[in-house]
Amino acid sequence: MFSFSARFCTGNELQNIGGHRMNVPSISYFHAFASRRIDEALKQCAEDTPPLCLLQATILTTFQLLIEGVRGKAWRTLGNCIRLAYELKLHCIDIYPDDAQDQSDITAWCLKEERRRAWWALWEFDVFASTIRRLPTAIDWTQNNTWLPVDDEAWYNGTYRRSCILIVDPAFRWKTLQQTGNTSAKAWFIVTNSLARNALLFSYPQSFSTQFSQQEDRSKSAARKRPVSEPSKDSQMELEILENALRCVSIALPPRLSYPSTL
């Protein structure tokens, strides 16, 4: 936290502390200090599962790296962070949801919501970094059984709110979230961001069908394949599904999240 706040602190603000001017430690100083402490704590865990607070600290240091650039160190650190989250089983918090138990034990529900938020923060990091590097995500969306976050007010006040997982089928993501009554801005952002990620995948070369001439295959090595520049019929259908899903999201957005139209 100091590494984030240090950017807003100047020597003048610390002038009266101890009766003399103090040198303000840099952002990199606090970040390096936190990273060393995290590494030490992970070594102490050895074969034991690290606590949630250690993962949360790692999320902060990872974020610090990502805002500086999605290069090698940030990319590798994010991968380790996601592994820690898997070790804590944050991907399956709601694999067996129990509404009655959550409503009767609000404290337990609030603790689960804290874990959910750590998971979805990493999901955002993963999509962001993977998109920039044009690489697959580290999180398997088909094995994601953790509810989308609810409104901050409900969590802070201990007011139970139902949510849902991020459905794999893009055509039903918005509808499933809408049916729960979850109006969290973060939840709707994640749904929209997931559709954008799906759409982006179609710009990857491997997303397009490959068609080959039998004559070319006879004269050239079968390993050499020439991709066509147009998407296959299946790809075109998927694009139409995504286009429709985005329209539905814009219509289904809670009123307080919709951009006011002046037309």
Q: What is the pTM of this model?
A: 0.83
Q: Is 140 helix (H, G, I), strand (E, B) or coil?
A: coil
Cα-based distances in Å from 55 to 38, 94, 124: 9, 19, 15
Assess if residue 76 is contained within a domain: no
Assess if residue 157 is contained within a domain: yes
State residue 164's pLDDT score.
97
Count of domains observed in the chain: 1
Assess if residue 9 is contained within a domain: no
Return phi, psi of residue 13, to 5°: -70, -20
Assess if residue 234 is contained within a domain: yes
Assess if residue 134 is contained within a domain: yes
State residue 60's pLDDT score.
94
- Given a contact cutoff of 8 angstroms between Cβ atoms, the answer to whether 85 and 91 are in contact is yes
Assess if residue 4 is contained within a domain: no
Domain of residue 131: give its range: 89-205+228-257
- The tokens for 228 are 């066509």
Assess if residue 190 is contained within a domain: yes
Assess if residue 117 is contained within a domain: yes
State residue 190's pLDDT score.
97
Residue with tokens 């801005």, as numbered in its chain: 185
Q: pLDDT tens, position by position, for the chain (263 residues)?
A: 878 777 776 655 555 445 555 566 778 888 898 999 999 999 999 999 999 999 999 999 999 999 989 989 999 999 999 999 999 999 999 999 999 999 999 999 999 999 999 999 999 999 999 999 989 999 999 999 999 999 999 999 999 999 999 999 999 999 999 999 999 999 999 999 999 999 888 777 554 433 333 333 444 444 444 444 455 667 778 888 999 999 999 999 998 888 775 44
- The tokens for 71 are 């290069």
